[in-house]
Amino acid sequence: MKAWQRALCTVVLGGAVTLTSTWTGAPVQAQASQQTAVQIVRIAPEESILFTIQFIDGFRAKVVDNKTRATTYIDIKENKDEYLRRGIYNKQGKVTQSTNGFSDKLAELVPYVTENGSIQYVGRQRMWGLHGNDQIAHATSIWKLENQKPKLVGLTVSPGESDNFPSPDVFLNTGISLDKDITFVLDTKYADVNGDGIKDHVMLVGHKEGAAFGLPVDDLRIVVREGRRGQHFFASVGKLDAGYLPKLNIGYINSDKVKDILVTIPTKNGRVYSALTWKYTKFVPLIDQAALNNPKQYKVTLDGQGVGTSVQSVRSAKK
């Protein structure tokens, strides 16, 4: 075993395992991207984004960051019963006790492939009101490297809890013990994807020849450690299972009220996608991968980080 492999923290998977792999397809054509070895960027304390979070009248929170000085107002009525019970607000929505929230510290930036093929970095932070169960907002910051130093290029604050934050228990780029010792964790999410109301640890894993990000990866699979019993399930993303810097997104694609998994895989010829969902105690293709990657059949919407977030059939869009 090579030195870089010995240095990895290995995650051993136990419990029930289910494997599915049935897809065929062809890449979606898009602007080609350049594969390159990149790393997670660690943020120094003086570079971190700090937030001032203050409860204000009308069951709202005022959020101001120390970088752009932008102000965002967040509706926090969802937890107003607790605020009333604690005497922070009166029934008219007036603040009776000065109250501040708190946020994550920004510790690392994760690389991603933009739509034009360049590499940028994303940081994510959560914000809370009174305590850790009172999540009121989350922040997404976009960075680029200039002279090997991170430079902030964009920052958004969004209300509520996000299903697209990393798993708190699984770290990126650690080794994972499946069937090869070059299997790495490439992306993680923490969300309920089997519909039991408890968040699961969702991992995208694959094989690559080193610990750096940006290297070619193949044999991409989804591994889910379910939150209720800790059992593990895994499934192939399909026949199109190679690329670099692949990403996960959790959201609703169909109407069954169970959150689905959408995988975005940048390649030299563009992006390809896979969609999986929980059905009958295992993860299965939600949409045939060949059909999903046929632009005449489906359109995938990307977010600002070039990650697929939703799918719409072309036929439906034309109606």
How far apart (Å, rounded) are the C-alpha atoms in residues 128 and 281? Answer: 34
Note the pLDDT of residue 37: 74
Structure tokens at 295: 């632009």
pLDDT for the residue 14: 33
In degrees rounded to 5, what are phi and psi of residue 122?
-125, 140
User: How confident is the model at residue 317, as a pLDDT?
Assistant: 59
For residue 284, the one-letter residue type is: V
Place of tokens 């090997």: 148
Task: Determine the pLDDT at residue 6.
Answer: 29
Query: Do the Cβ atoms of 276 and 260 come closer than 8 Å?
Result: yes
SS3 letters for the chain? CCHHHHCCCEEECCCCCCCCCCCCCCCCCCCCCCCCCECCEECCHHHCCCEEEEEECCCEEEEEECCCCCEEEEECHHHHHHHHHCCCECCCCCECCCCECEECCCCEEEEEECCCCCEEEEEEEEEECCCCCCEEEEEEEEEEEECCEEEEEEEEEEECCCCCCCCCCCCCCCEEECCCCCEEEEEEEEECCCCCCCCEEEEEEEECCCCCECCCEEEEEEEEECCCCCCEEEEECCCCCCECCCEEEEECCCCCCCCEEEEEEEECCEEEEEEEEEECCEEEECCCHHHHCCCCCEEEEECCCCCEEEEEEHHHHHC
Give the pLDDT score at 183.
87
pLDDT for 319 equals 56
Instruction: Locate 204 and state its tokens.
Output: 């995208």
Instruction: Report mean pLDDT in 10-residue bins for the chain, 319 residues.
Output: 31 33 35 61 91 98 96 96 96 96 94 90 96 94 93 95 90 76 89 94 92 88 93 94 96 91 94 94 93 96 94 77
CA distance 190 to 248: 11
Structure tokens given for 33? 């991207």
pLDDT at 245: 94
pTM of the predicted protein model: 0.83
What pLDDT was estimated at residue 12?
33
Give the C-alpha distances (Å, rounded to integers) separating 22 from 64, 146, 236, 246.
Answer: 48, 43, 8, 20
